[in-house]
């Protein structure tokens, strides 16, 4: 669909300044302005230093006064820039059809307007809700329950009897429900513990490429509503993650750990097994969480992780050890 400034603002119910027939082609950042592009600024003061290209558009705070280019007025420019991105860049068009090269098992239930691409394998007794898109090479094994409006990119693997909520996005090579890492040592060897639980993913979760969420030993590994998981994240068996958490790339969470709602784990955070974190706990990059912190609203850092201010004081003092050693050594020589 071709979008103009007037048609776009009418669709999004936003006020604008400029020629209604101006074509809009793509959204961009301020460093990449060109004719037909749309960028945003959060503060009207930022407009004073801009030299926009001809026929570009800026999403600006309501009440902004600027004549350098066309404007779209917004109470939250970032949010409306995202709405514009979804409008101008709707993603690949889907067919709503099942490719002849897909393989479907027995008693599969498929909703309306579902797209299943080539070389997808769907096991027996699987249920898939309306408006789902399953890209090539993905596998959904027997007994799985998939909600509505889900998007699974190529080579997603969902093992048996897992459940996925509505509007869940799984990126390339995501693994859901592989066996948890469970063994016991006896008679000189590691003996496998059967992993007979499952995985439940709630609504509006997104999981980045090549991330793994293991099935529970017993019961369920649970990912709460609205949680966003980056690439290359490992979530062990029986982990429970609350609502609206953020897990950045390289995070590793060992089994039976519990995260409250709204937690943020920065890149390469590691958490050992059977740890509990409270609500809205933030763990800074590369921290190693070796103890539970059930209190809410903490900021943790370091190895082993401690409240961030304490860790900073400890780090500062370790940097003073060399001078302290020299002072003590000098005092010893004076005796």
Contact residues for 319 (Cβ-Cβ < 8 A; gap 6+): none
- In three-state secondary structure terms, 324 is helix
Q: How far apart are CA 41 and CA 66, in angstroms?
A: 12
Q: How far apart are CA 99 and CA 48, in angstroms?
A: 53
DSSP 256-320: T-EE-TT-EE-TT-EE-TT-EE-TT-EE-TT-EE-S-B-SSS-EEETTTTEEHHHHHHHHHHHTT
- In three-state secondary structure terms, 10 is helix
Contact residues for 134 (Cβ-Cβ < 8 A; gap 6+): 114, 115, 116, 117, 120, 128, 140, 152, 156
In the numeric block, which tokens belong to residue 98? Answer: 């099942």
Catalytic residue set: 237
DSSP 48-59: GG--PPTT-EEE
């Amino acid at each position: 669909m071709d979008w103009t400034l007037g048609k776009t603002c009418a669709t999004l119910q936003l006020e604008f300044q400029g020629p209604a027939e101006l074509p809009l082609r793509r959204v961009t950042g301020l460093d990449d302005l060109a004719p037909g592009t749309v960028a945003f600024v959060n503060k009207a003061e930022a407009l004073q230093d801009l030299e926009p290209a001809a026929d570009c558009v800026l999403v600006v705070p309501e009440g902004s006064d600027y004549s350098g280019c066309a404007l779209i007025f917004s109470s939250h420019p970032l949010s409306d820039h995202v709405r514009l991105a979804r409008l101008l860049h709707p993603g690949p068009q889907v067919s709503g059809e099942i490719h002849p090269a897909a393989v479907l098992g027995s008693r599969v239930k498929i909703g309306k307007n579902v797209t299943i691409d080539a070389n997808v394998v769907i096991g027996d007794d699987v249920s898939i809700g309306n408006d789902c898109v399953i890209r090539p090479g993905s596998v959904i094994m027997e007994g799985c329950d998939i909600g509505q409006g889900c998007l699974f990119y190529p080579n997603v693997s969902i093992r048996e009897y897992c459940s996925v909520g509505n509007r869940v996005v799984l990126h390339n090579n995501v693994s859901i429900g592989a066996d948890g890492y469970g063994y016991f040592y006896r008679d000189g060897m590691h003996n496998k513990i059967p992993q007979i639980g499952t995985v439940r993913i709630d609504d509006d979760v997104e999981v980045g490429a090549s991330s793994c969420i293991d099935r529970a030993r017993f019961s369920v590994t649970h990912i709460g509503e609205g949680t966003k998981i980056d690439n290359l994240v490992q979530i062990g068996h029986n982990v429970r993650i609350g609502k609206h958490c953020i897990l950045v790339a390289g995070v590793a969470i060992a089994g039976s750990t519990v995260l409250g709602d709204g937690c943020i784990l920065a890149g390469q955070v590691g958490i050992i097994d059977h740890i509990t974190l409270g609500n809205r706990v933030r763990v800074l990059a590369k921290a190693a969480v070796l103890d539970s912190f059930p209190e809410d609203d903490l900021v943790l850092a370091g190895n082993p992780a401690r409240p961030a201010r304490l860790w900073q004081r400890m780090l500062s003092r370790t940097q003073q050890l060399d001078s302290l050693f020299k002072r003590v050594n000098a005092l010893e020589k004076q005796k």
